[in-house]
Structure 1
Amino acid sequence: MEARIQLAQKLMERLRSEKHPFLVVGDFNAPSPGYIRRIFSAELTDAAAAKGRGYGLTFPGATLNPLSLFGPWLRIDYIFASKNWRANLFSRRTAPASATSGGRRPV
């Protein structure tokens, strides 16, 4: 975990010097209240939090767990935007998880 935190911090150091608008998108394997997400959200806009609806849950894509109502229960995939990037709308369209999707609903 320490290596992932250091990588996130190094990436943010590099992004601070970027002059053009940018997006950081992907599977962070970090839950919403987690430290790695906070590293990015402290300086970047979380598109789902800014303009999304619902919780934006992405993992697992499909489950047999009745406690999660058979759907995703954790958000680990994100779209972060630089402050000079403006999100007008954020919507999530998902397809059922397949064997090739790694069991998640990616962004």
Structure 2
Amino acid sequence: MPLFGCKDWAGEDGPGTAALHYLDGLWEAGTPVDVGLPEDVALFPVSVNKDVSVGVFMLHRPDVLPERWWWIGEGSSSFFPTFVDLLAYVIGPLSSAPREYVD
């Protein structure tokens, strides 16, 4: 999954647009609330795979959430405090124990 750059947000058919549609689908399905995210949390896509089934989103609610990153897709949901923690988990899943739900 590539990280989005400035060019990914240009045009109506780019990866950024697909990521926003994926995010809209998550909200319509109620997935963010189902995993414990506050209804007013801001979610920003930073990476979505080519078939738009897995995504990484940056979370913004520092007053409520200790985690800043959410990896969702294909039936899994994982929250990480830092992007380094997320990358460490990708490289070696035994390196950390992300939360699946926000309490």
Pick the structure with more strand per residue.
2
Shorter-normalised TM range: under 0.3
Larger Rg computed on CA atoms: 1
TM-score, length-scaled by structure 1? 0.25
TM-score by length of structure 2 reads: 0.26
Larger helix share, 1 or 2? 2
